Amino acid sequence: MYPSRFRYEAPSTVAEAVAMLAAADGEAKILAGGQSLIPMMKLRFAAPAMIVDINGIGGLDYHRSDPDGTYRIGALCRHADLEKSAALADAQPTIAAAAPVVADPLVRTRGTLVGSVCHADPQGDWASVMVSLEGAVVAQGPNGRRTIQVTDLIDGPFQTVLAPDEIAVEAVIPAPRGARAGGYLKLERRVGDFATVGVAVSVEMSGGSVARAGIGLTGVGPATINASEAAAALAGTALDADAVDAAAQLAAEAAQPRSDHRGSADYKRHVVATFVRRIGAQIQRSEHEAA
C-alpha cells in the first residue's frame, strides 16, 4: 500500500489554497479528513501530483445555525463533531440520525461532511442527507464564491461540477418552514460497512401537515438519488400511513440498484420502501409523543 510520489502543501488560508490549486493545473487534490482520498492513493486508484492539505486553515471546523435558522457546516467539521453535538438532535434530526452510522468511530474523528459530499461516492451517507434537506455547498474559487445545490453538485459516481481550483468551504441547509423532523436508516453488515441501502427522510411540519419533504437514497444507484416524487407525495399530508406508503413505493421506484454481493436489486428496492415506512412511522410516533 504505497502511494505514488506526490507533493504536499499545507496552506493556512482558503485564498492561499485556491491559488495553489489554480497553479497546479488540475493535478492537485484537496485533503480534508483524508478518509477517502488516502485509501484511494494507497491503492493507487488516485495519484494526484499534489496534495493541498486544508487542515491547517483556521475557522472551518464549525457547525452552527444562523439567526434565521439557516444551518452551516464548515469544511473541517468532522463526522464526530456532528455525532457528539447535543444541539443537533433538535435542530437537524436527519443529520443527528446519520452521524453515528457513517463509517466507524475512528473514521468519524477525521472524516468531514463536506469532504464526503465532494467525494460523491454513491454509497456516501452525507450526500443523501443533504439532498433530503435541499442542502448546498458554498464553493470558493479564484473568482469568488458560488453556492451549488448538492443535487447539482454531483454529476456522476465520484464526480462533481467543482472546478479543479474550487474549494467547498461549507455546506448550507436552508432555514426550515416548520418544525424539523426526519431520520436516516442504513442497512449495513457491520460498523464501518458502506450502505447496502441508506434512506434519508427530512420533513418540515407546520400546523400538523408537511410543509416540505425531502428523500435521499444511498447506495442504490450510480449516484446519490434525490427521490423527489416520493418526497412530493408527502408534502401537504399529515404524514399518515397512506401517504408514507405512497412515498415508500415511489422511493423504491426512484431507486436504481444493481444486484451484487450485497443483495439483489429487488431486495434493495424493497428495503428502500421499508425504510421510508419506518422513518415515517418513527416521525409519527415522536409527533404523537410531543403532542
Partner 1 sequence: MALDEIKIGGLGASRRRVEDNRFIRGKGNYIDDIALPGMLHMEILRSPLAHARIRSIDVSAAWAIPGVRMVLTGDMLAARNLAWMPTLSYDTQAVLATDKVRFQGQEVACVVADDPYIAKDGCEAIVVDYEPLPPIVNPIQATAPGAPLIRDDKTGQDSNVVFDWEVGDREGTDRAFAEADVVSTIEMHYPRSHPSPIEACGSIADFNRATSKLTVYMTTQAPHIIRAAVALVAELPEHMIRIVSPDLGGGFGNKVPVYPGYVVSILASILLECPVKWIEDKSGNLISTGFGRDIYLKGEMALRNDGRILGVRMHTDSDHGAFFSDAQPSKFKIGLMHSAFSCYDIGAAYLTAQGVYTNKAPGGVAYRCSFRVTEAMFFQERMVQAAATDLGMDQAEFRRVNLVRDDDFPHRTPWGLLTDSGQYGKCLDLGLEAIGYEDFLRQKEEARQRGRLLGIGISTMTEPLGAGNSREYDILGIKMFDSAELKVHMTGKALLRTGAKTQGQGHETTWAQIVAHELGIPAEDVLVEEGDTDTAPFGMGTYASRSTPVAGAAVSMVSRKIRAKARKIAAYLLEVSEEDIDWELGRFSVRGAPDRGVTIQECAIAAYSNMPDGMEPGLENNAYYDPPNLTWPFACYIATVEVDPETGVWDVLRVVAVDDCGVRINPMIVEGQIMGGLTEAYAMANMQFITFDEDGNCIGSNYMDYLLPTAWETPGFELHEVVTPCPHHPIGAKGIGECATVGGPAAFVNAVIDAIGDTGVRNIDMPLLPDRVYEALTGGHDVSGAPPVTTE
Instruction: Give the residues lining the site for ligand FAD (CB under 6 A).
Output: 29-37, 39, 75, 102-104, 107, 111-112, 114-116, 118-119, 121, 124-126, 162, 167-168, 192, 194
Minimum gap (Å) between residue 109 Cβ and ligand FAD? 10
Residue 86 sits in the site that holds partner 1 (CB under 8 A)? no
Nearer to partner 1, 53 or 193 (CB): 193
| C-alpha cell read off for 119 | 467525494
Query: Which residues, including other chains, have CB under 8 Å from residue 242's CB and lie 6 or more apart?
Result: none
Beta strands, E only, the chain: 7-9, 28-31, 50-53, 63-65, 71-74, 136-141, 144-149, 154-156, 159-160, 167-173, 179-187, 197-206, 209-218, 225-226
- Which partner in partner 1, ligand FAD, none is near 124 (CB below 5 to 8 A by kind)? ligand FAD
Asked if residue 226 lies in contact with residue 198, where contact means CB atoms within 8 angstroms, the answer is no
For residue 282, what is the enclosing H or E element? helix 265-290
Find out whether 216 and 131 touch, Cβ atoms under 8 Å. yes
**Contact partner, 29, from partner 1, ligand FAD, none, Cβ < 5-8 Å per class:** ligand FAD
**Is the distance from CB of 148 to CB of 170 less than 8 angstroms?**
no
Least spacing, CB of residue 136 vs ligand FAD, in Å: 13
43 binds, among ligand FAD, partner 1, none (CB under 5 to 8 A by kind): partner 1
Q: Which is nearer to partner 1, 61 or 193 (CB)?
A: 193
Those residues whose C-beta lies under 8 Å from the C-beta of residue 118, and which sit 6 or more positions away, are 30, 32, 137, 153, 160, 162, 168
Report the residue number, 139 or 255, with the smaller CB distance to ligand FAD: 139
44 binding partner (options ligand FAD, partner 1, none; Cβ < 5 to 8 Å by kind): partner 1
Distance from C-alpha of 115 to C-alpha of 126, rounded to nearest angstrom: 9
Select from 112, 116, 196, 226 the one that contacts partner 1 (CB under 8 A). Answer: 196
Q: Which one of partner 1, ligand FAD, none interacts with residue 2, CB within 5 to 8 A by kind?
A: partner 1
Secondary structure tally for the chain: helices H, strands E:
12, 14
Residue closer to partner 1 by CB (options 209, 267) is: 267
Give the list of residues 6+ apart from residue 270 with CB closer than 8 angstroms, or none: 252
Q: How far is the CB of 251 from partner 1 (least distance, A)?
A: 15
Select 178 or 192, whichever has its Cβ closest to partner 1.
192
Return the one option of partner 1, ligand FAD, none that residue 265 interacts with (CB less than 5 to 8 A, by type).
partner 1
**33 sits near partner 1 (criterion: CB under 8 A):** no
Let me know the angle formed at the C-alpha of 198 by 146 and 38, rounded to the nearest 5 degrees: 60
Nearer to partner 1, 158 or 267 (CB): 267
Residue 32: count other Cβ atoms within 10 Å of its Cβ.
27
Residues that bind partner 1 in the complex, under the rule CB under 8 A: 1-5, 43-44, 104, 187, 189-194, 196, 258-265, 267-268, 270-271, 274
